């Protein structure tokens, strides 16, 4: 299944539930909420937060996968509210990025961070 098909599937799913009626501002806030849950996973994984020391959670990889699925769905819902075809938007922007960000110079630059 390609991105266009996935986006269409998500659009139908939302329309069957009336979710397309939510204003983009609410969908965006919900998207932020789900992104923050990924951030929370990272805080536990990297040891900034530790379960049992004032925090009740822990880094749960299975839940993380679900969060990414929710993020993708909300992102598509937001794009659909503006009639944006994510696949063509990505491919078009990717062409620009390939010209704009040379692989050799960026590889050389990022190698300093290892």
Determine the pLDDT at residue 113. Answer: 85
Residue-level length of the chain:
114
For 62-97, the pLDDT digits (tens) are 889 999 999 999 999 999 999 999 999 999 999 999
Per-residue pLDDT at 114 exceeds 80: no
Per-residue model confidence as pLDDT tens digits over 15-70: 999 999 999 999 999 999 999 999 999 998 888 888 777 666 667 788 899 999 99
Q: 81, 12 in Cβ contact below 8 A? A: no
Give the 3-state secondary structure of the chain: CCHHHHHHHHHHHHHHHCHHHCCHHHHHHHHHHHHHHHHHHHHHHCCCCCECCCECCCCCHHHHHHHHHHHHHHHHHHHHHCCCCHHHHHHHHHHHHHHHCCHHHHHHHHHHHC
Residue 3 has pLDDT above 80, yes or no: yes
d(CA 41, CA 113): 23
Helix axes 3-17, 61-81, angle to 10 degrees: 80
Structural domain boundaries in the chain: 3-83, 85-114
């Amino acid at each position: 299944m390609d991105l266009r098909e996935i986006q269409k599937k998500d659009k139908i799913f939302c329309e069957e539930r009336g979710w397309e009626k939510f204003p983009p501002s609410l969908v965006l806030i919900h998207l932020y909420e789900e992104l923050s849950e990924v951030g929370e996973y990272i805080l536990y994984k990297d040891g900034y937060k530790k379960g049992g020391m004032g925090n009740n959670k822990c880094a749960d990889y299975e839940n993380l996968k679900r969060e990414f699925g929710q993020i993708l769905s909300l992102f598509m819902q937001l794009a659909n509210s503006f009639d944006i075809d994510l696949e063509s938007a990505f491919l078009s922007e990717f062409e620009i990025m390939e010209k704009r960000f040379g692989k050799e110079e960026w590889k050389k630059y990022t190698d300093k961070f290892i």
